[in-house]
Structure 1
Amino acid sequence: MKPTAAVCAATMALLPAFGWAADSYAQAQASFIFNGARITIAPGNPQAGMYAARFAALPPVCEPACLSTGPAAKDVETVDEAAVLAFLVEVVGQNDGLMVDARMPQGRAAGFIPGSVSLPHETVAADNRYRDEILKALGVRVFEDLYNFSDAQALVVFDAGPTQNDAQKLIGNLLAAGYPPQKIRYYRGGMQVWSVLGLTIQEDMS
């Protein structure tokens, strides 16, 4: 038995002793249709080390170095990688929601989660005159100063990771516009954790 297999087998054997069930684990992969193309996400990215170093090198948003807190806002659920993969398959793949990258374009150019869309946090700031058009693209019905969010898309929002705050800014701007917190989830791990896990990363902006 290979060492990695032995470790895995030993871990599974110890789960009951720690009160963990084997079904608390999820497959670290996903396959779904996005914009008419098949997207596959899996571990074992051969460039994982390069991406992990790239995202780890990002300067933190505050000094001294700090980390974003777990909840981004009240009633906004914080989700892990398994929930993100499930969301991509079950929601994005069915055209019922969006995986949203809150970074500015230069940040997204460093690599992003396949199947995600770019929605920089500044685009839904209150002082952006095009904010209503952005909200309409998210399924919000806008009439003059009235907003109806009943058909608004379900969203999972992410950014570069725990040392950054673009996702919190976007979530704050969405909530300020009236977006229901129950329709927003926050992937705190972002690209920093995603890359360390060796999951698929896309860099082609086309």
Structure 2
Amino acid sequence: MATDDWLTDTRTSYDTVAAGYADKVREAIAGDRYLSGALALFADAVRAAGGGPVADVGCGPGHVTAHLHALGVDAFGIDLSPGMIEVARRDHPGLRFAVSSMTELDLPAASVAGLLAWHSLIHLPDDEVRSVIERFHRAVRPGGPLQVMFHVGDGVRLKTEGYGGHPMKVRVHRRRPEQVAGWLEAAGFTVEAQMLLEPGEAASQAVLFARRD
């Protein structure tokens, strides 16, 4: 599949479901001690590294960006979908959000104190993930934390409907933690820990905690 094809499908799909997705995830972090705990650890790591601006890449409707801000982190959000960014700005008017593709992430070198990417790598083909992680490494200053979350497993599933029954056309990639950890290490990150959510279940997810060397 050409890059433009899957990017266009992903953008259009999330534009379509933006409002419904925002409704679904609005209280997700507050109601989950593991998700809130992972973000608290990330915020602590940012402060320990000296603080500064933090990029939430693939921010969707901005709920994670807002949670980080509530923890005292100077977080801003980036997302491929203009519809998602519109909702994020509506729901969190005091925060910064911009439309951009992580495949063309243009943050200056060593410009952010940390970077977080929750469920934003899951629609990228393997070869694109590697180049995106290299862009992450360039953007994060030395010693800064990186946190990624993704679906655990093998294979690719075509998602054709979601969030309010609206049509979608996105490919969801499931990956093993050791595979993603290998890509992070190859790009120059040190993986310090991992957390599995609902291990062994079909909806299992992984969070990797890493730091830029």
TM-score normalized with structure 1 length: 0.29
> Which has more strand, going by share of residues?
2
Q: Which has the higher contact order (CA 8 A, sep 6+)?
A: 1
Larger Cα Rg: Structure 1 or Structure 2?
1
